[in-house]
Amino acid sequence: MSYFTALVRNEWMKITSKRQLPYYLIFLLVVLAAAIGFQLWFQSEGGSEVGSVGFTSVIFEITSVFTGIFSIVIASQIITDEFKDGTIKQLLIRPASRTTILMSKLVTIMLVVLFVNLAMMLVTALAAFILFDSSAGGIHLLWEGTILPFFLTLPNELFYIFVAFTAAVLTRSLGLSISIAVILNSLAGMLIMFIFDKPWYKYTVFPHLDWNSYYKGEPPIEGITFGFSFGMYALYMLALLLVSILVFKKRDIQ
């Protein structure tokens, strides 16, 4: 087991030992159960039946919004809790460099986000295929309707995770870093309304977060390529990463 893997396992152990993750998974299951219950009641009252692929796609779309916010919370918390409890000192007096510590935390968050989303996708699909009508289509429709869109929205989710993570390193405050990421996330739509016709709009990060549009064949701004979007996205992500590493490395721990 490499040293880095050991650090990631540590972070994973810490996240799974806190109450948040299990409680959040229970919350997701309650949402799923309620949706299933409502649909079954709706059908028994004579409402139209739902296809299992369609049900999965709708439910997963809703829960992945929740998971987006949840991942912002844990991306902040994985940093701020160590400062709050003073355990940051324990982490930083080990052979591991500060950059390595930071990277192990980032990798762990990405693993948690993948785990929660994929687990939810699997459970929802399983329940839907058992309970609802599957005649309309099988796995390949699931790929089109749920799995692929999820991976194409992942860059968007990851961006706000990086924002929360960097804000947490800078501010060391849980409330502040969650607020910054959530507010940016919810105001992005409005912000775009104001700036989408500006010539420099294509150099902001916002048009490059939605990769679904490229899949649909309609680029977010006319004339730009996926390569350009990918490059801009990578640039912003790298900048956030660099800021968090530099600040974290330089900081005197009181």
State how far the Cα of 70 lies from the Cα of 63, in Å rounded to an integer.
Answer: 10
Task: Enter the DSSP assignment of 251.
Answer: P
The residues that touch other proteins, with contacts defined as CB under 8 A, are: 3, 6-7, 9-10, 13-14, 17-19, 85-87, 89-97, 250, 252-253
96 vs 141, which CB is nearer to other proteins?
Answer: 96
In angstroms, give the least distance from the CB of 12 to other proteins.
Answer: 11
5 vs 186, which CB is nearer to other proteins?
Answer: 5
94 vs 198, which CB is nearer to other proteins?
Answer: 94
In angstroms, give the least distance from the CB of 96 to other proteins.
Answer: 6
In angstroms, give the least distance from the CB of 107 to other proteins.
Answer: 15
26 vs 253, which CB is nearer to other proteins?
Answer: 253
In angstroms, give the least distance from the CB of 68 to other proteins.
Answer: 25
Nearest to 211 by CA among 190, 194, 227, 235: 227
State how far the Cα of 97 lies from the Cα of 88, in Å rounded to an integer.
Answer: 13
In angstroms, give the least distance from the CB of 2 to other proteins.
Answer: 11
The secondary structure of 102-152 as a DSSP string is HHHHHHHHHHHHHHHHHHHHHHHHHHHHHHSB-TT--HHHHIIIIIHHHHH
Whether 201 and 195 have beta carbons less than 8 Å apart is answered as yes
In angstroms, give the least distance from the CB of 173 to other proteins.
Answer: 19
In angstroms, give the least distance from the CB of 200 to other proteins.
Answer: 38
- Contact residues for 180 (Cβ-Cβ < 8 A; gap 6+): 163, 164, 167, 171
The amino acid that residue 189 corresponds to is G
140 vs 250, which CB is nearer to other proteins?
Answer: 250
Residue with tokens 């800078």: 170
93 vs 193, which CB is nearer to other proteins?
Answer: 93
Whether 90 and 182 have beta carbons less than 8 Å apart is answered as no
- Per-residue tokens: 116: 């929660």
13 vs 139, which CB is nearer to other proteins?
Answer: 13
State how far the Cα of 200 lies from the Cα of 195, in Å rounded to an integer.
Answer: 8
